[in-house]
């Protein structure tokens, strides 16, 4: 049975106090609320114990530090979450980086920045499915070493593999793919894919009424718009790139990066976001590092999502990011509504 949220918060707070006292000694420290974890501060120093969504914790942690006038920030994350190295890598992209610690029982270890992942090329038998996806009207996109088919940023299929080889699995996200397998398992994959493309395209258009299919993955929809219209962010060419930290849930927002060149042929990485996403700036800096071309970073978002905290974090990067506020070329659009 899951713990009551208040009880869990109390336990996390007690654990954080014990960890901090064990490393930094006793002190008069004030408890500070932190969603998905626990926080303490004392005389300009702050400590956060991250519990929920550790892969997206750095942006909220930096905002917490700004809110509570914390100059020296320590971020603690459980070793078994496997994210301390990635958080340390992201933290190093800021002029005043927080210290990331890995929690192993009662022990705290400084986390070393992990290198960004470098997925290898797709096997030829997998990449051959790109033509199948295009023929059905889906855009092939490689995400963390997996070939998926998207319709305006929304995944409608992915190529799965096992010891018998690759096959096409159709559906919007994991649960829909499982349902398709159970209910329409005898339908030819190409036919199922064409049906999925038509269904998604019918809802993912400027004049469509609100629907789950045009509310999911809106940041990736924005990326699809910019890939088609790179001039909106001063680019000559853009293409989707994998995020160094993979999405774990289609229903949750996550910045969508694209890589390309600007009008002068210089490298650029564009991080797309719809809604105020506190992890946008760390994710964009991480994408720049993974891109490995010393690119200029542009944060692309609708004007309504221009938040002062996003601008403050963007200015705190070692290589500050530019913010591009976009008006859709087609006028009214669900992304900007």
d(CA 111, CA 145): 26
% the chain with pLDDT above 70 = 93
Per-residue pLDDT, 1:
46
Alpha helices by DSSP H, listed for 57-188, are: 58-67, 84-91, 124-127, 129-135, 173-183
d(CA 219, CA 240): 12
Answer whether residue 311 shows pLDDT above 90: yes
Per-residue pLDDT, 93:
98
Residues 6+ apart with CB under 8 A from 1: none
Per-residue pLDDT, 330:
45
Per-residue pLDDT, 40:
97
Q: Which of 102, 105, 106 has its CA nearest to residue 114?
A: 102
pLDDT digits 0-9 by tens, 250-291: 788 899 999 999 999 999 999 999 999 999 999 999 999 999
- CA-atom Rg of the chain in angstroms: 21
pLDDT digits 0-9 by tens, 36-62: 899 999 999 999 999 989 999 999 999
pLDDT digits 0-9 by tens, 10-31: 899 999 999 999 999 998 899 9
Instruction: List beta partners, residue 286.
Output: none
- The kind and range of the H/E element at 238 are strand 235-240
Q: Which of 8-12, 206-210, 298-302 shows the lowest per-residue confidence on average (mean pLDDT)?
A: 206-210
Top-confidence residue, 335 or 17: 17
Per-residue pLDDT, 6:
82
Q: Whole-model pTM?
A: 0.92
Per-residue pLDDT, 232:
93
Instruction: List beta partners, residue 318.
Output: none
d(CA 331, CA 65): 38
d(CA 298, CA 257): 10
pLDDT confidence of 185, banded at 50, 70, 90?
low
- Mean of pLDDT values over 225-232: 94
Q: Report helix, strand or coil for 231.
A: helix
- The kind and range of the H/E element at 221 are helix 218-228
DSSP conformational letter for 132: H
- Mean of pLDDT values over 226-246: 94
Residue 312: C-alpha distances to residues 84, 253, 316 (Å): 24, 21, 6
305 — alpha (psi -120 to 50), left (phi > 0) or beta?
alpha
Per-residue pLDDT, 284:
98
pLDDT digits 0-9 by tens, 70-125: 999 999 999 988 999 999 999 999 999 999 999 999 999 999 999 999 888 999 99
Residues 6+ apart with CB under 8 A from 31: 13, 38, 39, 40
């Amino acid at each position: 049975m899951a713990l009551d949220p208040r009880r869990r918060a109390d336990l996390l707070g007690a654990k954080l106090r014990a960890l901090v006292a064990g490393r930094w000694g006793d002190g008069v420290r004030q408890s500070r609320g932190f969603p998905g974890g626990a926080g303490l501060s004392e005389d300009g120093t702050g400590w956060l114990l991250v519990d929920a969504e550790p892969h997206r914790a750095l942006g909220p942690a930096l905002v917490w530090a700004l809110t509570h006038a914390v100059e020296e920030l320590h971020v603690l994350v459980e070793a078994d979450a496997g994210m301390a190295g990635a958080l340390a890598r992201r933290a190093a992209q800021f002029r005043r980086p927080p210290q990331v610690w890995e929690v192993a029982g009662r022990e705290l270890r400084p986390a070393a920045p992990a290198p960004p992942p470098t997925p290898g090329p797709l096997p030829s038998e997998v990449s051959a499915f790109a033509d199948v996806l295009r023929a059905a009207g889906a855009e092939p996109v490689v995400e963390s070493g997996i070939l998926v088919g998207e319709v305006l940023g929304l995944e409608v299929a992915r190529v799965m593999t096992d010891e018998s080889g690759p096959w096409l699995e159709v559906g919007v996200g994991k649960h829909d793919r499982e349902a398709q397998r159970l209910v329409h398992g005898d339908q030819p994959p190409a036919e199922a894919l064409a049906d999925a493309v038509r269904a998604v395209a019918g809802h993912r258009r400027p004049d469509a009424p609100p629907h789950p299919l045009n509310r999911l993955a809106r940041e990736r929809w924005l990326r699809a718009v910019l890939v088609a219209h790179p001039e909106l962010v001063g680019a000559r060419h853009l293409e989707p790139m994998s995020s160094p930290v993979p999405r774990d849930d289609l229903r949750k927002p996550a910045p969508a990066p694209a890589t390309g060149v600007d009008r002068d042929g210089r490298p650029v990485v564009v991080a797309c976001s719809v809604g105020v996403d506190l992890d946008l700036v760390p994710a964009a800096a991480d994408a720049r590092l993974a891109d490995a071309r010393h690119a200029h970073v542009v944060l692309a978002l609708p004007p309504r999502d221009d938040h002062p905290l996003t601008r403050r974090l963007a200015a705190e990067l070692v290589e500050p990011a530019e913010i591009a506020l976009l008006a859709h070329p087609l006028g009214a659009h669900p992304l900007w509504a």
